Structure 1
Amino acid sequence: MEFTTAEPFLHKGLLQSFELTKYILKTNVYPREPSPLKELREVTAKHPGNFMSTTPDSGQLMGMLLKLINAKKTIEIGVYTGYSLLLTALSIPHDAMIIAIDPNKETYEIGLPIIQKAGVEHKINFIESQALPVLDKLLQNKDNEGSFDFAFVDADKENYLNYHERLLKLVKVGGLIVFDNTLWGGTVAQPEEAVSEDRKESRRSIIEFNNSVSIDQRIEIALTPSGDGLTICRRIR
């Protein structure tokens, strides 16, 4: 598809400066950010892997989505210190449940005291594991098929398509699956030779994923330029 100068929206759809990002955070996101999330964000900022955390603007959007669909049963693949996990726990009802999967319990425990202080730990079933075996085990029980309202994926990019196929069976029709990092630092729109070696493999996987979901007739999609790219998939069949 070719784009022309007759499409002025091309100049409006992306954040064009760090100052604009700061403006959004300052005026819309941070004033509404619950204090436990702010505390966890500040703790995470001191960790060397802080770039892996869900961005606050993406979190704000996810929180609204969770409430709009009245999510009560969710899955999270990739937890890190738990910013998105805490956000989900704060957004869903008292008797709701999250299956949270991550092979690194050590980073999860960084945020755990804040999760406990917020009074939402009872909603979380943390499983220290790679995600695919857990998803496959869930699918062995037919009662789990179509029983989840929402899923969030922020883990190894090479397995996004594998996660997608399994989550489409677990999430109900009308439910949402949200994938983070689907713009991969903007590299998806760059020539491969311009991308650093450490990002090329994941970039290829993200591009393959983006191309695949764009033609997947089982879902409706919206790729938002929030954070590092947030692809929202709504299961329709």
Structure 2
Amino acid sequence: MATNGETKENQAGRHQEVGHKSLLQSDALYQYILETSVYPREPAPMKELREVTAKHPWNIMTTSADEGQFLNMLLKLINAKNTMEIGVYTGYSLLATALALPHDGKILAMDINRENYEIGLPIIQKAGVAHKIDFKEGPALPVLDQMIEDGKYHGTYDFIFVDADKDNYLNYHKRLIELVKVGGLIGYDNTLWNGSVVAPPDAQLRKYVRYYRDFVLELNKALAVDPRIEICQLPVGDGITLCRRIS
């Protein structure tokens, strides 16, 4: 929904790319990044999955192509091998992760909707990385609680990516901080939440944006003062906050 100050001309020029949530000053600048740096290097399976996802009615839920590229490189830089993803959708970020991991790398992937995951699964299989993925359908919190209770998973994950129900982000964090290793990373997606984190009280916001904004604000405040982590909030996609566990 456009704000009061946005003209019809600006509305017409808004970028329509699937997964586009960029906070850059212009859509032309975002398009430049995509066409110059992202799309020419995007692996064929990721391009195929992005195009398939574009046909889905909820395609705004997908990870943007520039963020997918960022995650892929980040995982290679930290030599990640054992990872987790909460919130999968059709699997674009999951595929970016799977392609970055070594052949014996593993991803525990959780989502409440297997049907969406199965949209991307044939492409993931064709890419030869499906063996790295252990997909679990259903709420993630009970699974995390069981893992913590088991004890053997403490500090075993190199990287954890969260792009799921924003009202549970703090609940996830309370558990994930125990499961990620010291020196490992947790990435929380959508931490700038369509720019709504700085929107004035009378701003015209979509209903779901307004509803989840307070949860995102609460998360951001909590992460900023958590002594167990170092953080870096990046304006990539819809905002991603990286948390490096230090204790």
TM superposition score category, shorter chain reference:
over 0.9
Q: How far is the alpha carbon of 1:192 from its aligned partner?
A: 3.1
Q: How far is the alpha carbon of 1:69 from its aligned partner?
A: 1.1
Q: Does the 8 Å contact 1:192/1:200 carry over to 2?
A: no
More divergent stretch after superposition (191-200 vs 176-185)? 191-200
Q: How far is the alpha carbon of 1:201 from its aligned partner?
A: 2.0
- Any residues of structure 2 matched to 1:226-237 within 5 Å, and which? 226-237=236-247
Q: Does the 8 Å contact 1:224/1:230 carry over to 2?
A: yes
Runs of 4+ in structure 1 displaced over 3 angstroms?
none
Amino acid across the alignment from 1:47: H
What is the aligned-residue RMSD (CA, Å)?
A: 0.9
Q: Does the 8 Å contact 2:145/2:175 carry over to 1?
A: yes
- Any residues of structure 2 matched to 1:209-228 within 5 Å, and which? 209-228=219-238
Q: Larger relative CO (CA 8 A, sep 6+): 1 or 2?
A: 2
- Any residues of structure 2 matched to 1:17-166 within 5 Å, and which? 17-166=26-175
Taking the aligned partners of 2:58 and 2:201, their CA distance within structure 1 comes to 25
Aligned-residue sequence identity (percent) comes to 62
Q: Does the 8 Å contact 2:194/2:209 carry over to 1?
A: no
Alignment pair present for 1:196 and 2:206: yes
Amino acid across the alignment from 2:207: E
Taking the aligned partners of 2:199 and 2:219, their CA distance within structure 1 comes to 16
Please give the per-residue CA displacement for 1:154-209, whole angstroms capped at 9, x wherever unaligned. Answer: 00000011111111000000000001111110001102331333322200000000
Q: Does the 8 Å contact 1:148/1:175 carry over to 2?
A: yes
Q: How many residues align?
A: 224
Taking the aligned partners of 1:51 and 1:134, their CA distance within structure 2 comes to 27
Please give the per-residue CA displacement for 1:91-136, whole angstroms capped at 9, x wherever unaligned. Answer: 0000010000001000000000000000010000000011101111
Q: How far is the alpha carbon of 1:58 from its aligned partner?
A: 0.9
Q: How far is the alpha carbon of 1:215 from its aligned partner?
A: 1.1
TM superposition score normalised by structure 1:
0.93
Alignment pair present for 1:174 and 2:183: yes
TM superposition score normalised by structure 2:
0.89
Amino acid across the alignment from 1:197: K
